[in-house]
Amino acid sequence: MSSPFTFEGAVLWLGALATLAMYSVLYRENPVYRIAEHVFLGLATGYGLYVIWRDVLFPIWYKPLFREHHWPWILALVAGGMYYTIYSRRFAWMSRLVMTTMMGLVAGLAFRKFYGQFVPQIGASFKPLVVLVKGPAGLDWPGTLFASLSNVLFLVCLISVLTYFFFTVEQRSPLVRRTAHTGRWLMMIAFGAMFGATVMARLSLFIGRLDFLFREWIPLIR
């Protein structure tokens, strides 16, 4: 175990005590946990301020304006300042002006974003229902059957889930209702997959902490 009186040891011990302080909430709610939570909040806020200045405001605004004398950048200060009028009922229209302009910029990008993300998806959805898989001695029948059925399954899943979310007209036809119902069951499979993945993710984070506590701090894990 590292000595807390060396620098490396001090970092480890501080980290371990912070970790245990956070974990104390698992026993019950207590002041140590609350203090640790607020310390985290303060550190996060302070660090965020530092990085915003270091990587955004200093190189993009301060340096061009005050070192390179590109005077139009002062107007960015005005635009940023207009956001703060949100706290005043009288002047809040200025914050709305800036906010909606920024939202307009983002909205204008929606076409490009849809094209980039979803048009390839639409194209990739047109799969052949019969896929011929060639083997070393002619047609590979099991491979052909598996690939073709996979594509059919793909189509069934896609259409039934799309049908489930189709709310423009009422779903009266029995065929449409049954297709939507199938989509509901298929979505349960996807949600099961997401649940399994979520469990894996959360448990991994805990394993990371165990590694820190019992390999770096108290070397039980070698």
Partner 1 sequence: MLTFPILVFAALSVALVALALLHQAPTRVKRALTMATTFLAGLFYVVEFFVPPDPATSDAVVFGRNLTEMAATVGQVTQVVAGFTFLLGIYNLVFVHGYVIRRRREGWPNSVAFFISFLAMVVFSFWRDWKTWFGGANPPAWVRDPLPEHAARPHDVYTLLFDGLYRNLESTMFSILAFYIVSAAYRAFRVRTGEAGVLMVVAIILMLGQVPLGMALTNWIPASGQFAFFRVETLSQFILTAVNGPVQRAIGFGIGLGMLAMALRIWLSLERGTYFGQEE
Partner 2 sequence: MPPSRRLPDLEQLLGRIDRRLIYLGLFLITLAPLVGKWSLPLYVSRPPQLLYQAIEALPPDKLVVIASNWDAGSQAETRPQLIALVRHLIRRNLSFAIICTAYPTSPQLAQSAVEEAIRLESAPDRWPYGTRWVNLGFKLPDDPWLRSFSSSITGAVKVDVHNTPLAEIPVLRGVKRFGPEGQVSMLIDITGSATIDKWYEFLGPTKVKIGLACTAVMAPEQYPFLDSGQLSGLLTGMKGAAEYEQLLHAPGFAMPAMAGQSFAHLYIILLILIGNVAVLAARTRGRRR
Residues that bind partner 2 (CB under 8 A): 26-27, 47-48, 50-52, 54-56, 58-60, 102, 105-106, 109, 112-117, 120-121, 123-124, 190, 193-194, 197-201, 203-211, 214, 220-222
Binding flag, residue 135, partner 1 (CB under 8 A):
no
Closest CA to 165 of 178, 143, 142, 183: 183
- Distance from C-alpha of 187 to C-alpha of 204, rounded to nearest angstrom: 26
The secondary structure of 89-123, three-state, reads CCCHHHHHHHHHHHHHHHHHCHHHHHHHHHHHHHH
Residue 129 contacts which entry, partner 2, partner 1, none (Cβ below 5-8 A, type-dependent): none
Centroid of chain to Cα 168:
30
Q: Which amino acid is at 123?
A: G
Query: Helices 92-108 and 110-124 sit at what angle, rounded to 10 degrees?
Result: 30
Q: According to CB under 8 A, which one of 28, 117, 168, 172 is a site residue for partner 1?
A: 117
Query: Helices 31-51 and 7-23 sit at what angle, rounded to 10 degrees?
Result: 120
- Distance from C-alpha of 84 to C-alpha of 76, rounded to nearest angstrom: 13
Could you say which residues in the range 140-159 bind partner 1, by CB under 8 A?
A: 142, 150, 153-155, 157-158
Cβ 102 to partner 1, closest distance in Å? 7
Residue 176 contacts which entry, partner 2, partner 1, none (Cβ below 5-8 A, type-dependent): none
Cβ 138 to partner 1, closest distance in Å? 18
By beta-carbon proximity to partner 1, the closer residue of 133 and 155 is 155
The number of residues that bind partner 1 (CB under 8 A) is 124
Residue 128 contacts which entry, partner 1, partner 2, none (Cβ below 5-8 A, type-dependent): none
